[in-house]
Amino acid sequence: MNRTDRLMGIITHLQSKKYRTAEQLATHFGISVRTVFRDLRAMQEIGVPIGFEPGQGYFIAGGYFLPPVSLTLQEANALALAEPLVLRFADKGNSRARGHRISQNKNGAGRLATRKIRTNTI
């Protein structure tokens, strides 16, 4: 797992429970406690509101959430082109939700383009 994926994973993990210790995070991500401290410091430096409660662990301050993914029209169309493969080979419940989210992320013209792509590729 690369560092960016791990940092996003730590944020998600901290959001899923009230408190997490450095040891719990290290075990979950297969890294050292020292690396957890470095990662937490890096996230604080970019503005993620991470707090610490003695005897409890680390937490993300209430109200913080990861912003939604913003795709360009080309990126969204590339995902729309790949959707038939996902529908064919992935878990059916998850793939439908992903396709719906791709469509939600685009403006009206982008949604129309996606429908045309889907119609011509399915």
pLDDT on residue 59: 93
Name the helix (H) or strand (E) containing 76.
Answer: helix 73-89
What structural domains does the chain harbor? 3-60 (1.10.10.10), 73-121 (no CATH)
- Report if pTM > 0.85: no
Are 7 and 44 within 8 A, CB to CB? no
Question: What are the backbone dihedrals phi and psi of residue 58, each rounded to the nearest 5 degrees, phi first?
Answer: -90, 155
**105-108: long-range contacts, CB 8 A cutoff, minimum separation 24:** 105/68, 105/69, 105/70, 105/71, 105/76, 106/71, 106/73, 106/76
pLDDT digits (tens, 9 = 90+) for 30-56: 999 999 999 999 999 988 899 999 999
